[in-house]
A and B are shown apart, each in its own frame.
Chain A
C-alpha cells in the first residue's frame, strides 16, 4: 500500500532563513509526487508536482522540490522564507498503480511558523 510520511509536525523558521520540509513515501512503482499548501481557512493549493524527468522541480512562490528515488524522498525547499509562507504543507503520492494521479495518499502535514 502507498503511504506518505512527513516526520515534522511543526517547524519554526525565521523570516529570510532557508526552509526544508521532509517527505518520505512508499510506493510500488514510479510515483507521482505533489506538494500542497493550506493557508488558514483555505483549501489546498498545488505548489508543485513531479511526474517524470528532471528530479528537481520548480513550483510557485519560489518553492522547489527534489525527487530522490534511492531515499524515497521528495523534500520541499525554499531559499528564503517570507512571513506569508506560514501555513500547513502536505505531501502526496499517487501513480500508475492507482490510475495515475487518480488516487492520492496524503501525509499528515507540516505546520510552518515564520518568526519575524
Chain B
C-alpha cells in the first residue's frame, strides 16, 4: 500500500461548489503539506501543519482552508471553487527532512 494516499484522484466540479481533498499517510510523520502544481510554475505551498494543533499558511492560501483531523490525516477545502483553482494538488509528509509526496489530485473547476 502507498505511504501517502490522496482522494479523489480526479475531480471535476463547478464554480461556486465546495470541495474537499483528503490526504492520509502511514509513514508516521508529524508534518504534512498541501501544494498545487501549475504548468511552468512548479509547486507552490498552500498550507502546512507541523502537528495536529499547528496549522500555517503557505504562499498561496487565499481561497483554501485545511483541517488536520489526526496526525495521519490532512484535508484541503475549497469553500467556493473558481476556475483558476484548476490544478494538480499534492499532499506531502515529512519528519523535517525530505518530503514524501502522494500521487496527486487533478482538480478541474468549470
Which A residues, 1 to 41, have Cβ-Cβ distances below 8 Å to chain B? 9, 32, 34, 36
Which B residues, 89 to 107, have Cβ-Cβ distances below 8 Å to chain A? 90, 92, 94, 96-104
Q: Is the interface of A mostly helix, strand, loop or mixed?
A: strand
The answer to whether B43 and A102 touch across the interface, beta carbons within 8 angstroms, is no
Q: Is the interface of B mostly helix, strand, loop or mixed?
A: strand
Asked if B45 CB lies within 8 Å of chain A CBs, one says: yes
With both chains docked as a complex, state the minimum distance between the C-beta of B62 and any C-beta of chain A, in angstroms: 18
Instruction: For the complex, count residues of B whose C-beta is within 8 A of A.
Output: 22
> Chain A, interface size: which category?
20 to 34
Asked if A58 CB lies within 8 Å of chain B CBs, one says: no
Q: Could you tell me which A residues sit within 8 Å of B by CB distance?
A: 9, 32, 34, 36, 42-46, 49, 51, 90, 99-104, 106-109
